[in-house]
C-alpha cells in the first residue's frame, strides 16, 4: 500500500478508536454521593408525613418528627423519632441505635425492641423512615448505564447499581438503585427479600433546595405485588439541629419531652 493510501485509511478510522476508553465510575463512590444528597452531613431534624392509598383512596396518615445524628465511629445515623399524629399515637417514640430499634409507649412507660421490617403504615416499614447511609451497609456494583423513567414520568439517563447487604440485620438484603448519571440524584429503587421476592419499588421525586442541596422531598412506595397499594412519604422542615447524646439512649426515653 502506498504511503498516501495508508494515510487515507488511517484518517478514515473512527475517532473513538484513537481515544482512551472512558473509565467507568466507581459504584461505591456513586452510592456515597447519592447518600450525601438524601442526608445532610451534620445532625438535623425534619418532619415526615406518611399517607397510605389503596386504589387511589386514602386510608390513613401518620406524622413523625425525626432527629438524626451520625455515629462518630460507624458513620451510620442514629435516630430518635417522635410520633406527632394521629392523636392516638402522639408522644410515642422509636429509637435506632446501631442495629437495635426500640419502641417506647408513654402510656405503659415501657420500651420494647422491635423489628425494622415491621410495617409502620402501608408500604412503609419502621426502617424506611430511619435515616440511613446506604454506602455504609451495602456493597455496590455498577450494572448498567441506561434510561429510566423517574418519579415525574420523565426519561433520565442513569446508572443502575446493584446493592448487596454487608450485614444480615439490615432492612433489605438486596436493592436495585438508579441514580441520575450527571447529578447522582437517586431516582428509583427496587427492594428485594432474601428469597429474591420484590417487596416494593420507590421513586424519589419533587427535589427542593434544602440546606444548600437539591434533595427529594417525596418518596412514592409501591407494593411489589399490588401496584394499587401506595404509600407516599413527604418530608418538610429540614433544618440543622444539635441532637444531644442523651436523647439517643434507651434509658432516657421516659424523660424525653417534645422539642
CA–CA gap between residue 31 and residue 69 (Å, rounded): 20
- pLDDT one-digit tens code per residue, 209-240: 999 999 999 999 999 999 999 999 999 999 99
Taking the domains of the chain in order of start, what are their residue ranges? 27-255
User: Domain 27-255 - what CATH class?
Assistant: mainly beta
CA–CA gap between residue 236 and residue 84 (Å, rounded): 14
- pLDDT one-digit tens code per residue, 148-193: 999 999 999 999 999 999 888 889 999 999 999 999 999 999 999 9
- pLDDT one-digit tens code per residue, 60-114: 999 999 999 988 788 789 999 999 999 999 999 999 998 899 999 999 989 999 9
**CB crowding 223-235: b at 16 or more within 10 Å, else e:** bbeeeebbbbbeb
Question: Which comes out higher in pLDDT, residue 226 or 17?
Answer: 226
- pLDDT one-digit tens code per residue, 22-51: 678 999 999 999 999 999 989 999 999 999
Quick check: 78 and 248 in contact, CB under 8 A? yes
**CB crowding 136-148: b at 16 or more within 10 Å, else e:** bbbebebeeeeeb
Q: Which of 48, 52, 191 is nearest to 123 (CA)?
A: 52
CA–CA gap between residue 232 and residue 215 (Å, rounded): 16
pTM of the predicted model, to two decimals?
Answer: 0.88
Amino acid at each position: 500500500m502506498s504511503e498516501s493510501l495508508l494515510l487515507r485509511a488511517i484518517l478514515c478510522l473512527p475517532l473513538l478508536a484513537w481515544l482512551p476508553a472512558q473509565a467507568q465510575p466507581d459504584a461505591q463512590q456513586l452510592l456515597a454521593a447519592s447518600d450525601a444528597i438524601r442526608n445532610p452531613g451534620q445532625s438535623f431534624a425534619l418532619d415526615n408525613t406518611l399517607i397510605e392509598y389503596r386504589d387511589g383512596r386514602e386510608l390513613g396518615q401518620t406524622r413523625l418528627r425525626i432527629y438524626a445524628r451520625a455515629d462518630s465511629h460507624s458513620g451510620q445515623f442514629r435516630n430518635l423519632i417522635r410520633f406527632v399524629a394521629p392523636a392516638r399515637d402522639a408522644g410515642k417514640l422509636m429509637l435506632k441505635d446501631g442495629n437495635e430499634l426500640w419502641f417506647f409507649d408513654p402510656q405503659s412507660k415501657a420500651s420494647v425492641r422491635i423489628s425494622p421490617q415491621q410495617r409502620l403504615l402501608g408500604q412503609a416499614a419502621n426502617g424506611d423512615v430511619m435515616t440511613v447511609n446506604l454506602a455504609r451497609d451495602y456493597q455496590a456494583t455498577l450494572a448498567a448505564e441506561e434510561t429510566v423513567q423517574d418519579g415525574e414520568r420523565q426519561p433520565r439517563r442513569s446508572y443502575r447499581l446493584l446493592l448487596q447487604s454487608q450485614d444480615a440485620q439490615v432492612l433489605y438484603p438486596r436493592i436495585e438503585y438508579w441514580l441520575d448519571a450527571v447529578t447522582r440524584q437517586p431516582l428509583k429503587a427496587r427492594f428485594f427479600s432474601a428469597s429474591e421476592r420484590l417487596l416494593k419499588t420507590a421513586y424519589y421525586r419533587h427535589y427542593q433546595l434544602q440546606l444548600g442541596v437539591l434533595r427529594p422531598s417525596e418518596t412514592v412506595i409501591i407494593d411489589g405485588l399490588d401496584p394499587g397499594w401506595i404509600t407516599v412519604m413527604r418530608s418538610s422542615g429540614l433544618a440543622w439541629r444539635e441532637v444531644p447524646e442523651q436523647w439517643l439512649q434507651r434509658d432516657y426515653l421516659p424523660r424525653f419531652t417534645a422539642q
